[in-house]
Structure 1
Amino acid sequence: MRNRSNEPRAGRSRAVRLDAFGGPEVLTVQDVPVPRPAPGQLRVRVTAAGLNPMDWFMTADDRTASRFGLTLPAGFGTDYAGVVDRVGAGVTGYASGDRVFGAALSRAVADYVLVESDGDISTGVAHLTPDAVDDRTAATLAIAGSTAAAALAALDLGPDDTVLMGGAGGGVGVFAVQLARLAGARVIGTGSPSTAEFLRSLGSEPIAYGDGLIERIRALDAGPITAAADLHGTDTVQVARQLGVPDRRICTIAARVDGIPAANGATAGPEALQHIAGLIAAGKLHVPIAATFPIDEIRSAVELQSTRHAHGKIVIDL
């Protein structure tokens, strides 16, 4: 990542923008004015932005975008990390030079982002980055980390649990598997055969998804499955029910099923991300970075991310 002065050059900066909703082909890097913080806002000089499936999902078409309150022209990306370079009037708890990470809905892949000092994902939110956590790693935490924390809170795992995690190799799974292991639970994670070694590296026992999953689980001689998290759709929910897992100990993050708790970043506890960042700083949790791209290669980065075959997180360097 390149170093830059705190003062924007000629009042201009770069941002990934969309003038039409669609796939990676609609993403362009545009020259935009440097934003000025209003009272209560921070301006962050972004050094890294992490990609999530929700980034391209919610900008794919008009109807989906409207559900998230997005209109054209729009920005892109939500997770960011960087350095506070200016604070608006009335801001407390932050100062110029502070390293921060957080979320700014569909506008994080940009040289500068404005966030509220006490905001949320819609207005932008910032957390102080621990010294031992680098910016690329910090840029992966907001969406996936908070969603994983919410899922684990819904399941309330402990040492007596064996949890089935569907889609364990995805962006949320990277965090959910490790958090479950830190809680003492045994983790059986589904994925493609090519993800087996990656899942083992996270602490999961890998198992191939698809037809015959129940039989493969029983062949593991894992004992009773006591909890399940479906991190992709609803297939794991159905398997968990067939294995006798009660609905109250199953959760989803990407779909809704009657009777099943749904978890997402908005339901995470207020200290969830700081807790995860602390675990990373202490060396207890690792975030694998699958690939990094410069901002000018945003289309290639999104194409790779949308395949969902990357083993780890994808980060844009700014």
Structure 2
Amino acid sequence: MLAVVVRSFGGPEVVEVADVPVPVPGPGQVRIRVVAAAVNPVDFATRSGALHAAGLVPAGTVGLGWDVAGVVDAVGAGAPFAVGAPFAVGAEVVGLRDRLPTLGAQAEFVVLDASAVAPAPRTVSLAAASTVPLGGLTALQALDLLGVPAGGSVLVTGAGGSVGGFAVQLAVARGLRVVALASDEARVRGYGATWVFPRGADVGAAVRAVVPGGVDGVVDAAALGVEALDAVRGGGSFVAVLGSATPVALRGVRVSNVWIRADGRQLASLVDMVDAGALSVAEPETWPLEEVARAHDGVRRRLVLVPPAAQGRLPRGSLATTAS
């Protein structure tokens, strides 16, 4: 099968679409025939060697891709469905791969623990569904760590991105007042944010002008660090996304990191919100899997990779190509 791998770390030139053996699901696992796999900044960090330098990725061949949407192709022994029912071959699912030394989701097939998988949403395409697991679970788990009760206030930095956008929507759903930092004010207000400030503003001063004393907590999806910490009231809480730009815990602020973990039950709750219209998921741009290296060459749009066999599942004209 085809799979996106890097055998050494560096620029876009090290990204390779390799022919590798089809993985076999073990006990408690399922194999998914990939229809769509999202491209995320963490893929760029893996390719560049940043995650290796942090001790998270070993040297040698490493697969790329965390998010996946597709169809169950095979089931290992004793694999329960993430929400209690047996898996069935042919079921449409979404999942998160968080075991970094393994082959990634940017492939024709991927094997995941059954506990990392949930039914796919019924109201959006599988391409759009593939953008939910990493960003949605990171946002949900960040808000859980933040621990701000309903009626409180939060600042979300990077609110126009995947994690930030989900964080705004989930915070609003929890009854929180949201101050957002983003360049696309109209879109983020559409997520339910009460106040939106552009990137480049004096974050602390801007936030305190609308929330006297500062917000109760921050989800720092833009990795601003101490700049965003200045917006938190004394004794509040601060969550750094994926360990980036973690500031010193000044003024009694509780500081923590959200390191994403796969959780099929939490993922199923996000899918339910998507189907209920409570969580907005944009339709991404889709590219052939074979063009993955171009996605690493300065592209920052929301992209989803589609393996060759799955390209016929997409509506006619939906598969973009960057070939000249």
Aligned: 1:30 with 2:30: no
Aligned: 1:171 with 2:166: no
In 2 relative to 1, CA 66–176 (structure 1 residues): closer, same or farther, beyond 3 Å? closer
Could you say which residue in structure 2 is the equivalent of 1:59? 47
Q: Distance in 1 between matches of 2:232 and 2:79?
A: 51
Could you say which residue in structure 2 is the equivalent of 1:229? 219
- Displacement after TM superposition at 1:200 (Å): 2.2
5 Å matches for 1:63-142? Answer: 64=52, 67-92=55-80, 93-104=86-97, 105=100, 107-118=104-115, 125-142=116-133
Q: Distance in 2 between matches of 1:96 and 1:48?
A: 18
Could you say which residue in structure 2 is the equivalent of 1:282? 276
- Are the aligned partners of 2:70 and 2:93 in contact in 1 as well (CA < 8 Å)? yes
In 2 relative to 1, CA 210–34 (structure 1 residues): closer, same or farther, beyond 3 Å? same
- Displacement after TM superposition at 1:161 (Å): 2.0
SS of corresponding position for 1:115: strand
- Displacement after TM superposition at 1:270 (Å): 6.3
Q: Distance in 1 between matches of 2:161 and 2:151?
A: 25
Q: Distance in 2 between matches of 1:167 and 1:238?
A: 13
- Are the aligned partners of 1:49 and 1:316 in contact in 2 as well (CA < 8 Å)? yes
Q: Distance in 1 between matches of 2:158 and 2:5?
A: 30
Q: Distance in 2 between matches of 1:240 and 1:94?
A: 44
| Match 1:299 to one of 274, 293, 297 | 293
5 Å matches for 1:240-255? Answer: 240-241=229-230, 243=231, 245-253=233-241, 254-255=243-244
Q: Distance in 1 between matches of 2:198 and 2:273?
A: 29
Q: CA RMSD in A?
A: 2.6
Q: Distance in 2 between matches of 1:144 and 1:316?
A: 16
Aligned: 1:201 with 2:193: no
Aligned: 1:265 with 2:268: no
- Displacement after TM superposition at 1:38 (Å): 3.5
Provide Cα deviations, 1:17-69, integer angstroms capped at 9, x if missing partner: 22221222211222333233334432210000012211221231287267224
- Are the aligned partners of 1:168 and 1:189 in contact in 2 as well (CA < 8 Å)? yes
Aligned length: 289
The amino acid of 2:4's aligned partner reads V
Could you say which residue in structure 1 is the equivalent of 2:320? none
- Displacement after TM superposition at 1:211 (Å): 5.2
The amino acid of 2:18's aligned partner reads Q
- Displacement after TM superposition at 1:274 (Å): 1.4
The runs of 5 or more residues in structure 2 that have no matched partner are 81-85, 250-254, 308-324
The amino acid of 1:262's aligned partner reads N
The amino acid of 1:152's aligned partner reads L
Q: Distance in 1 between matches of 2:54 and 2:22?
A: 26
The amino acid of 2:295's aligned partner reads A
SS of corresponding position for 1:252: strand
The runs of 5 or more residues in structure 1 that have no matched partner are 1-12, 119-124
Provide Cα deviations, 1:222-269, integer angstroms capped at 9, x if missing partner: 44523222112244x44443x451354222114333431222323x87
Aligned: 1:161 with 2:149: no
- Are the aligned partners of 2:117 and 2:263 in contact in 1 as well (CA < 8 Å)? no
Q: Distance in 1 between matches of 2:130 and 2:53?
A: 23
Structure 1 moving runs of 4+ over 4 Å: none
Could you say which residue in structure 2 is the equivalent of 1:145? 136
